[in-house]
Chain A
Amino acid sequence: MVTYIIRRLIWAVVMLSIVSIITFAIFFLVPRLAGATSESLAARYVGRTASAEQVKVAAEKLGFNDPLIVQYGRFAKGIVAGADYDYGPGVEHCPAPCFGYSFLTRLPVWPDLLDRLPVTMSLAFGAAVIWVIAGVATGVLSALRRGSLFDRAAMGVALAGVSLPIFFTGIVSLVVFSYGHPFRITAPGGSFTPIEENPAMWAYNLILPWITLAFLYAAGYARLTRAGMLETMNEEYIRTARAKGLNERVVVVKHGLRGALTPILTIFGLDLGLLLGGAVLTESTYSLPGMGKYAIDAITNQDLPKVMGVTLVAAFFVVFANLIVDLLYAVVDPRVRLG
């Protein structure tokens, strides 16, 4: 078990290195292949009045004149060992893990990421609780009452859920439940209250994004659970369980659902991992200052250190979530042995 985890962690580091190299290449190598010079790259970050000479100085300062491998090495070294930057009156030390300084705001990226993480985590975990409970419950009920009115209605709604994009359901939800309503169920977007500060306000600010996001995911989970349940409930061991005179609830939950859970767990791990890297559309629609909004703003402004930071953190969550899922397999399914 321990060696398994260590092996997986080493793989995670390799994966993240590959992701960082690819991201770096997309943002630093591709423009160069397309003919950009270090000056034309630097010109974006020097304000609107810069002379050619100032652009040159900025290119040197941002390190654009060095070979790409040196630039990447500097970035990677910063994450492991920290780095020094000279953007103000004096030299500033950025301790490890240093994801560099934003080219535009000239402030370190890592504190930003730490600042944005609670927003995205609140959004992702809150929505995940809703969608897992709602999705799995709906799926189980639909499977047990296959062909009933409930089954058809639930699957119809589920189809709508997976088909409707967040920027549609999000805006509709805001128009119906938020804008200008005296008794609205959620605050107007753009506000986030940390849970430790005021849990009620925290939930009040997030309830609408949670539901909207959960609606999208719950739909898929309901369909997946229904299919899994239909399959497991026809298994021989279910018949055996029933024959042994077990209570129907125990049969459904302990034997049926548990068997159907493995694929759901796999998908859940991926979904949650991806969301923790930033729910881009949800955060943009509701103007929540999370990782996804941060990523979008960074890309719009071509603020490369920020893009690198957010990509790596997002990739970390996907890799990490998958590791957890693999560990959980052993818990859910006793046949699985890690090694």
Chain B
Amino acid sequence: MLRRRLGMAATGAVLALAVAACGGGSGSSTPSSSGGAAAGGSDSKSEFNAAMTGVVNPSDKKGGILKFANGGDWDSLDPGDTYYGYSWNFIRLYGRSLLMFKSAVGKEGNQLAPDLAEDLGKPSDDAKTWTYKIKKGVKFEDGTPVTSKDVKYAVERSFDKEVFPDGYTYFNDFLAWPKDYKGAYKSKDVNTDSAIETPDDYTIVFHLKQPLSNFDYFAQLPATIPVPKDKDTGAKYKEHIIATGPYKFEKNEIGKGFTLVRNDQWDPATDPNRKALPDGYEVSTNVNADDIDNRIIAGDLDIDVAGIGVQSAALGRVLSDPAMKANADNPTSTRLWYTSINGNVPPFDNIDCRKAVQYAVDKVALQTAWGGEFSGGQIATSMLPPAIPGHEDFNLYPPGADNKGDVNKAKEALTACGQPNGFETNISYRAERPKEKAAAEALQQSLGRVGIKLTLKPFPQADYFALYAGKPGYAKDNKIGLAMNGWQSDWPDGFGFLQQITDSRVIRETGGSSNISVRDPEVDKLVDKAMLETDTDARNAIWTQIDKKVMEDAFVLPNVWTKTLLVRSKNATNIFVNEAYGMYDYLGMGVK
């Protein structure tokens, strides 16, 4: 099963996306529309959030070098071993997976487009078998044609988590691998046709253990980027990756940086998604984070590749200077910080007591605790973040007109719950996280106004879900009624976002589940229904239904959807935020 808990996600691991709720923008064109630098209107340059709804500095000019820097380093450049959103955004420059997110502004960036494949996947009726046809004419950088076997091999090698510890386990968990399969290196001669078949050089068929209506999102994962078996060097492959995209590695010094140059074997005729405007990319890694901000503001550098926004030193500078602010964007990510309300811990077994919490909360104080409007997040009223298809704006528990809490409604709910004077309970948070603590304190204050007395209980984050807040027995015995929690999806889809945190069947008595509080058989049924529904719109509607049902149950108190402040390059063209990644789209940019 998916095991992605935000607690484990390192600070840089942001797979974020943009939000419609932020204003700004102009009528500039999308990158898919052609036209010179004049297209899009001149005002698109000078507005806060302009790159979230339009393209800033649209241009088709080729040439130049884009300069990127990373405050840390890639987990790995190997397509089978990378699990950062920014890396998935960037990898499209040198690798082609079966499908990809469109290089487009706003909602369009959330859409999948065929890349190596000719079309989106063809599911069987039971959604357990998915077939992709591969384009002819795609080549590796050495001129060898790409076949379905190279894709199959790439997925098989990514199975080995000893060699590739950084990657995800989606394919390991969902494909019908032979028993005791250990991946391409350790199970060399094992027949894997039960999981992946390649009936011919241009067809690949995936067999799943269970129905999965959204397998196309798996097909966009970098692990489907083909790897030539005879050039594979295992853990060392990241030092020289064989490119299939428009750029290939010229020099790669892990820990310091690398340069990409044009790949002359890339054929634009096979690739409608990439414009490949710059002649190359210079990327430095392990660069001082404040230095990165200063250089971008000064125009010496184009992109902070990690895409998690400026440091606090630059944040104040950018926001207080209107000219600088006009050159910045503030997208919202697919990360939700929330508070689980555990219905197993009395008096939260009574829905009205849960509702009292929803009404009494001061959401403005919570937002401040998470870091404020620009770097903390947007006040959340439901679970699904705005950029995930299926999100609907609704607020079942309006906490007053000013978002600071509706004390009267909260007291009414308390009376209905049989606790008119309030009650005492505990709130847990991860001890290593000052923002979770601040949010728990904000809750302590605002709930205190109606007599709900909270005691703060910090636990070490390594064992937070396994031994404490996420272990049903412990939570009940120790009266942990509320628990700080967070979640982020790997791609903008209801399954990735909601399944692990709303399906009650993932809760184990032994602990370890990220779902601490949502226990509703109706929701479980809806999840099953969504996993079978291959029609995208119908499926998204089910996720909306689940979001609403969980909020009706009041098992979750949404805090904020996180936001980041990005500063645009002074030298780049075609700057826009791709919602699938919640950061600037690295594929579309060119040089002025």
Residues of chain A touching chain B, judged by Cβ–Cβ distance below 8 Å, are 40, 43, 45-51, 54, 57-58, 61, 87-90, 92, 105-107, 112, 115, 171, 174-175, 178-180, 188-191, 284-287, 289, 293-294, 297
Cβ-defined contact, B295 with A179, below 8 A: yes
Contact of B234 among A58, A90, A286, A289 (CB under 8 A): A90
Cβ-defined contact, B10 with A54, below 8 A: no
Given contacts A115-B253, A189-B287, A285-B291, is CB(A47)–CB(B166) below 8 Å?
yes
Cβ-defined contact, A48 with B9, below 8 A: yes
| Residues of B contacting A106 in the complex (Cβ-Cβ under 8 angstroms) | 235-236
| Residues of B contacting A87 in the complex (Cβ-Cβ under 8 angstroms) | 163, 234-235
Contact of B168 among A49, A58, A191, A285 (CB under 8 A): A49
- A173 to B: closest C-beta gap in Å: 12
Cβ-defined contact, B255 with A105, below 8 A: yes
4 further A-B contacts with Cβ under 8 Å, apart from A51-B3, A106-B236, A285-B288, are A89-B233, A179-B294, A188-B300, A294-B255
Cβ-defined contact, B291 with A88, below 8 A: no
Interface string of B76-105 (1 = CB under 8 A from A): 100000010000000000000000000000
Q: How far is the CA of A88 from the CA of B165 in the complex (A)?
A: 11
| Residues of B contacting A61 in the complex (Cβ-Cβ under 8 angstroms) | 162
| Residues of B contacting A49 in the complex (Cβ-Cβ under 8 angstroms) | 3-4, 83, 161, 167-169
Q: Which residue of B lies closest to A107 (CB)?
A: B254
- B189 to A: closest C-beta gap in Å: 14
Q: How far is the CA of A87 from the CA of B462 in the complex (A)?
A: 26
Cβ-defined contact, B239 with A58, below 8 A: no
- A166 to B: closest C-beta gap in Å: 12
Q: How far is the CA of A61 from the CA of B233 in the complex (A)?
A: 19
Cβ-defined contact, B294 with A175, below 8 A: yes
Q: Which residue of B lies closest to A188 (CB)?
A: B300
Cβ-defined contact, A89 with B232, below 8 A: yes
| Residues of B contacting A89 in the complex (Cβ-Cβ under 8 angstroms) | 163, 185, 232-234
| Residues of B contacting A191 in the complex (Cβ-Cβ under 8 angstroms) | 284
- A157 to B: closest C-beta gap in Å: 26
Q: How far is the CA of A203 from the CA of B73 in the complex (A)?
A: 26
Given contacts A107-B239, A175-B294, A297-B286, is CB(A188)–CB(B166) below 8 Å?
no
Q: Which residue of B lies closest to A112 (CB)?
A: B255
Cβ-defined contact, B294 with A47, below 8 A: no
Cβ-defined contact, A287 with B83, below 8 A: no
Q: How far is the CA of A112 from the CA of B239 in the complex (A)?
A: 13
Q: Which residue of B lies closest to A180 (CB)?
A: B298
Given contacts A87-B235, A105-B254, A179-B294, is CB(A47)–CB(B300) below 8 Å?
no
Interface string of B5-20 (1 = CB under 8 A from A): 0001110010000000
| Residues of A contacting B83 in the complex (Cβ-Cβ under 8 angstroms) | 47-49
- The prevalent SS among residues of B at the interface is loop
Cβ-defined contact, A287 with B169, below 8 A: no
Given contacts A189-B291, A285-B288, is CB(A47)–CB(B161) below 8 Å?
yes
**In the complex, which residues 271-312 of chain B have their Cβ closer than 8 Å to any Cβ of chain A?**
284, 286-288, 290-291, 294-295, 297-301
Cβ-defined contact, A287 with B291, below 8 A: yes
- B496 to A: closest C-beta gap in Å: 14
Contact of A48 among B163, B166, B294, B462 (CB under 8 A): B166
Is B75 an interface residue, CB under 8 A from the partner? yes
- A302 to B: closest C-beta gap in Å: 12
| Residues of A contacting B10 in the complex (Cβ-Cβ under 8 angstroms) | 48
| Residues of B contacting A48 in the complex (Cβ-Cβ under 8 angstroms) | 4, 8-10, 13, 83, 166
* Tally of contact residues, B, Cβ under 8 A: 47
- B494 to A: closest C-beta gap in Å: 21
Cβ-defined contact, B165 with A287, below 8 A: no
Is B209 an interface residue, CB under 8 A from the partner? no
Q: How far is the CA of A48 from the CA of B69 in the complex (A)?
A: 23
Q: How far is the CA of A112 from the CA of B256 in the complex (A)?
A: 10
Residues of chain B touching chain A, judged by Cβ–Cβ distance below 8 Å, are 3-4, 8-10, 13, 69, 72-73, 75-76, 83, 161-169, 185, 232-236, 239, 253-257, 284, 286-288, 290-291, 294-295, 297-301, 462
| Residues of A contacting B286 in the complex (Cβ-Cβ under 8 angstroms) | 287, 289, 293, 297
Q: Which residue of A lies closest to B71 (CB)?
A: A287
- A194 to B: closest C-beta gap in Å: 12
Cβ-defined contact, B73 with A297, below 8 A: yes
Give me 29 A-to-B residue pairs in the complex whose CB atoms sit less than 8 angstroms apart, sorted by A's number. Answer: A43-B462, A47-B75, A48-B4, A48-B8, A48-B9, A49-B4, A88-B185, A89-B233, A105-B76, A106-B235, A106-B236, A107-B235, A107-B236, A112-B255, A115-B256, A174-B294, A179-B294, A179-B295, A179-B300, A180-B297, A188-B300, A188-B301, A189-B288, A189-B295, A190-B257, A190-B291, A191-B284, A289-B255, A297-B286
Residue among A43, A88, A171, A190 with max Cβ neighbours from chain B (10 Å)? A190
What 8 A-B pairs come out closest when comparing CB atoms?
A: A88-B234, A180-B298, A179-B298, A47-B165, A89-B234, A88-B235, A188-B300, A287-B287
| Residues of B contacting A51 in the complex (Cβ-Cβ under 8 angstroms) | 3
Cβ-defined contact, B167 with A188, below 8 A: no
- B317 to A: closest C-beta gap in Å: 12
Q: How far is the CA of A174 from the CA of B288 in the complex (A)?
A: 13
Residue among A43, A49, A284, A287 with max Cβ neighbours from chain B (10 Å)? A49
Cβ-defined contact, A289 with B256, below 8 A: yes
Q: Which residue of B lies closest to A92 (CB)?
A: B236
- A105 to B: closest C-beta gap in Å: 6
Cβ-defined contact, A284 with B288, below 8 A: yes
Q: Which residue of A lies closest to B157 (CB)?
A: A89
Q: How far is the CA of A88 from the CA of B76 in the complex (A)?
A: 14
Contact of B165 among A46, A112, A178 (CB under 8 A): A46
Cβ-defined contact, A287 with B284, below 8 A: yes
| Residues of B contacting A47 in the complex (Cβ-Cβ under 8 angstroms) | 75, 83, 161, 164-167
Q: How far is the CA of A57 from the CA of B162 in the complex (A)?
A: 8
Q: How far is the CA of A175 from the CA of B162 in the complex (A)?
A: 45
Residue among B9, B72, B300 with max Cβ neighbours from chain A (10 Å)? B300
| Residues of B contacting A189 in the complex (Cβ-Cβ under 8 angstroms) | 287-288, 291, 295
| Residues of B contacting A45 in the complex (Cβ-Cβ under 8 angstroms) | 165
| Residues of A contacting B73 in the complex (Cβ-Cβ under 8 angstroms) | 297
Q: Which residue of B lies closest to A187 (CB)?
A: B300
- B466 to A: closest C-beta gap in Å: 9
| Residues of A contacting B163 in the complex (Cβ-Cβ under 8 angstroms) | 87-89
- B580 to A: closest C-beta gap in Å: 20
| Residues of A contacting B166 in the complex (Cβ-Cβ under 8 angstroms) | 47-48
| Residues of A contacting B235 in the complex (Cβ-Cβ under 8 angstroms) | 87-88, 106-107
Q: How far is the CA of A175 from the CA of B290 in the complex (A)?
A: 12
Q: How far is the CA of A43 from the CA of B463 in the complex (A)?
A: 12
Contact of B287 among A171, A178, A190 (CB under 8 A): A190
Residue among A47, A87, A90 with max Cβ neighbours from chain B (10 Å)? A47
Q: How far is the CA of A51 from the CA of B8 in the complex (A)?
A: 13
Given contacts A88-B235, A190-B284, is CB(A50)–CB(B253) below 8 Å?
no
| Residues of A contacting B300 in the complex (Cβ-Cβ under 8 angstroms) | 178-180, 188
Q: How far is the CA of A45 from the CA of B256 in the complex (A)?
A: 20
Q: How far is the CA of A286 from the CA of B162 in the complex (A)?
A: 36
Q: How far is the CA of A50 from the CA of B462 in the complex (A)?
A: 13
| Residues of A contacting B254 in the complex (Cβ-Cβ under 8 angstroms) | 105, 107
| Residues of B contacting A107 in the complex (Cβ-Cβ under 8 angstroms) | 235-236, 239, 254
Residue among A61, A89, A105, A286 with max Cβ neighbours from chain B (10 Å)? A89
Q: Which residue of A lies closest to B570 (CB)?
A: A180
- A272 to B: closest C-beta gap in Å: 24
Residue among B8, B165, B167, B235 with max Cβ neighbours from chain A (10 Å)? B165
Q: How far is the CA of A305 from the CA of B233 in the complex (A)?
A: 22
Q: How far is the CA of A107 from the CA of B237 in the complex (A)?
A: 11
| Residues of B contacting A92 in the complex (Cβ-Cβ under 8 angstroms) | 236
Cβ-defined contact, B288 with A287, below 8 A: yes
Q: How far is the CA of A24 from the CA of B344 in the complex (A)?
A: 47
Q: Which residue of B lies closest to A45 (CB)?
A: B165
| Residues of B contacting A43 in the complex (Cβ-Cβ under 8 angstroms) | 462
| Residues of A contacting B462 in the complex (Cβ-Cβ under 8 angstroms) | 40, 43
Cβ-defined contact, A297 with B255, below 8 A: yes
- B254 to A: closest C-beta gap in Å: 6
Q: How far is the CA of A178 from the CA of B299 in the complex (A)?
A: 11
Q: Which residue of B lies closest to A300 (CB)?
A: B72
